[in-house]
Structures are given as C-alpha cells and as structure tokens.
Amino acid sequence: MKEFQLIEHYFRNKGLKRRDVELSIGDDCALVNPADNKSLAISCDTLVENVHFLADIPAHALGYKSLAVNLSDLAAMGAEPAWFTLALTLPDVDQPWLAHFSEGLFEIAEYYGIALIGGDTTRGPRSISITINGQVPKGTALTRDGAKIGDWVYVTGTLGDSALGLDILRGVKTVNTEDKEYLINRHYYPTPRVLAGQALRTLATSAIDLSDGLMSDIGHILTASKVGAVIDVNQIPLSNSIKANLSHEDALSYALTGGEDYELLFTVPESQRGAIDTALIHAGVKFVKIGQISAGDKLKLVENGLEFNPISRGFVHF
C-alpha cells in the first residue's frame, strides 16, 4: 500500500465533519474559518516509540492517547477543540495496526468534536506528531503566569494511576488482579479535562495540565507567575486502586512525580472559590484543594506540618 492509498483508506473522510472546515485532506493545505472574536489555541506534541510509549502498546490505545494528550493542552488553556493534523512515521505498512490506530484516534476525535484536516506519512521509526487547534473567546484563555499570592491550588481527578499502570506494563510493579486493568487503562486512555478547562475560564488565575508530574508541572506555574507554593501532600487525591497496592509514601511519590495523569492543576482566588465549586460540579469533574500560592519562588511540600521529600522529581525531556 502506497502513501496516498494509506491516507485515503484510513484517514481521509473519516471522523467528524465540521462546517468551519472549508477544505480538508487532499490538497497542499487545509482551509478553515475561525470564529469571530475568538483566539486560536495551537499546540504540538510528538510521541516516539520506546520514549513516550512502549513498543507493544495496543494500536487502538496509541491512536486514542496520541490525540488525548494534545486535547489536554487545549483543556489547560480553556479552549474548545476544533481541528488537528497528524504526521505519522511508520517502519512499514501494517494494515491491521493502522485499522486499530485510526479507530482509536477517531473515537476520541468524534467524542470531543474535533476534525482531522491534514498531515503527512513517512517511513521510519514509529512516531506520531499531532498539531492541534482550538478556539477560546478573546481575553479568556487560561495561562501559567496569573497565579497570585494567596490563591488556592486545585487539581482534578486522581494522581499517580497512569505512572503505576506504566510500571505494571514494564513488569516493575505487581498489583491486585481487580486493580490491574483499571490502572493500565488509566495509562492507555487518559481523560483530557476539556469541559473543566472551559468552565475555569474567567475564574481561575492560572492552569496547566499534568503531563510530567505534579512537582515538575506546578514549577512551570511558579516560574511564570514569579511566586511560590505550599502543597499539603495529604490532600493530594489518590484512587482506591493506588492506595490498595502501594504504601502511603510510594503512592504519594507516584502522584507527585509519576506524570502522564493529564489532569488539570489550577489556581483560584478566594473570591472565586464558590463559583469554582459550582462550575466544576456542573462539568462533572471531581477536584480538590491541595495547597496555596505563597511569596517567594519555592515549592514547599508538607505532611502533618513537616517537610516532605519525594523520591524523584518528575519526567524531564532532555
């Protein structure tokens, strides 16, 4: 199967059709018509085999996750998903693999209302690069540089499950049979908090998605906002599955440094706490307050009033 046959069979005319797409796959460029009075939110992520995903990951899960991690970037900005492009590098044309990959990709694309409008395919070591585009009302995008001293720090969902799921797949950890599937699926099928991000517009002062681990990612907010933070590790949300299989200290280490949770961490002024409660409950997202923004530029972790030091500090790319 040649390149254009591959594109035609597995990607062209698949998934959602949007009225704001004037010209999609099949030309030198796609043409889209952004809405008036909205800013474009654009992000790009590359996933490389044996760096960002295991070689034996199910193709359906890889297709799903490849788009999910990009949707999480839009969520962190409060943006509505619109369009994406896909650059797919493959060592060979494996048609069953491509069928499952495209099924997973379009499953999540249709759920979040986003259209594939172009891309590229080439031969080489397996990697997936997606450029995603979203729209957000002008002046309402969430950024990393707005946290203020006294703001409260929140996270959605539970933390650490994905990293533990990865270690199960690597054979590093063993868990109870009843928890294994849940933890692995939390790694394979993350939930981008798109509706939560939109609900936080005009309410949160800053936000970021948790891709590299809570300690690493909150550091980006502190640096951009020129503030510090105190985090109470006993308030960090842990799933029943992680608590049933790890010691308290190990569970906290996974939650703080494991990465790939793709939950949202955000800061909220005292005046908006009630509004946040209403907005996120309406969006159907669980969330919890874990700390507070402070003066200075340091991140301080505490447990029962004492300093807490986790085992590692999260994923770094280089």
Distance CA(59)–CA(62), nearest Å, equals 5
Give the annotated binding-site residues for ATP.
119-120, 144, 211
Whether residue 105 is found in the same domain as residue 158 = no
pLDDT per residue rounded down to tens, the chain (318 residues): 666 666 665 666 666 678 888 887 777 788 989 999 999 999 999 999 998 999 999 999 999 999 999 999 999 999 999 999 999 999 998 899 999 999 999 999 999 999 999 988 899 999 999 999 999 999 999 999 999 999 999 999 999 999 999 999 999 999 999 999 999 999 999 999 999 999 999 999 999 999 999 999 999 999 999 999 999 999 999 999 999 999 999 999 999 999 999 999 999 999 999 999 999 988 899 999 999 999 999 999 999 888 888 765 444 443
The reply to whether 18 and 160 lie within a common domain is no
302 and 157 in one domain? yes
131 and 15 assigned to the same domain? yes
- 142 located within any domain: no
97 and 185 both lie in a single domain: no
Number of domains in the chain: 2
Give the pLDDT confidence score for residue 93 in this predicted structure: 86
In this predicted structure, what is the pLDDT of residue 25?
A: 75
Does residue 104 sit in the same domain as residue 247?
no
In this structure, is residue 280 part of a structural domain?
yes
- In this prediction, residue 310 carries a pLDDT of 73
CATH of the domain at 249: 3.90.650.10
**Is 268 part of a structural domain of the chain?**
yes
Whether residue 113 sits in one domain with residue 75? yes
pLDDT of residue 1: 60
- What residues are designated binding site for Mg(2+)? 28, 43, 45, 73, 120, 209, 212
Q: Which domain holds residue 49?
A: 3-137
Picking from 78, 107, 137, the residue at the C-terminal end of a domain is: 137
How far apart CA 109 and CA 107 sit, in angstroms, is 6
177 and 241 co-located in one domain? yes
Q: Give me the sheet containing 299-303, strands edge to edge.
A: 206-209, 264-268, 152-156, 287-294, 228-232, 299-303, 306-307
Instruction: Show binding-site residues.
Output: 28, 43, 45, 52, 73, 119-120, 144, 209, 211-212, 260, 315
Boundary-marking domain end, from 137, 163, 186: 137
**126 phi/psi in degrees, rounded to 5:** -60, 125
pTM over 0.85: yes
Q: Is residue 144 part of a domain?
A: no
Do 130 and 237 fall into the same domain?
no
pLDDT at position 5 is 64
CATH number at residue 67: 3.30.1330.10
pLDDT of res. 114: 96
Which residues are bridge partners to 13 per DSSP?
none
Give the annotated binding-site residues for substrate. 52, 260, 315
Do residues 27 and 157 both lie within one domain?
Answer: no
Q: Are residue 265 and residue 298 in the same domain, yes or no? A: yes
In this structure, the number of other CB atoms found within 10 A of the CB of residue 153 comes to: 25
Looking at the structure, do residues 270 and 128 belong to the same domain, yes or no?
A: no
Residue 299 in domain: yes
pLDDT of residue 314: 47
Write down which residue in 78, 104, 137 finishes a domain. Answer: 137
Closest to 65 in 3D by CA, of 196, 220, 199, 211: 211
Is position 311 within any domain? no
Q: Assess if residue 143 is contained within a domain.
A: no
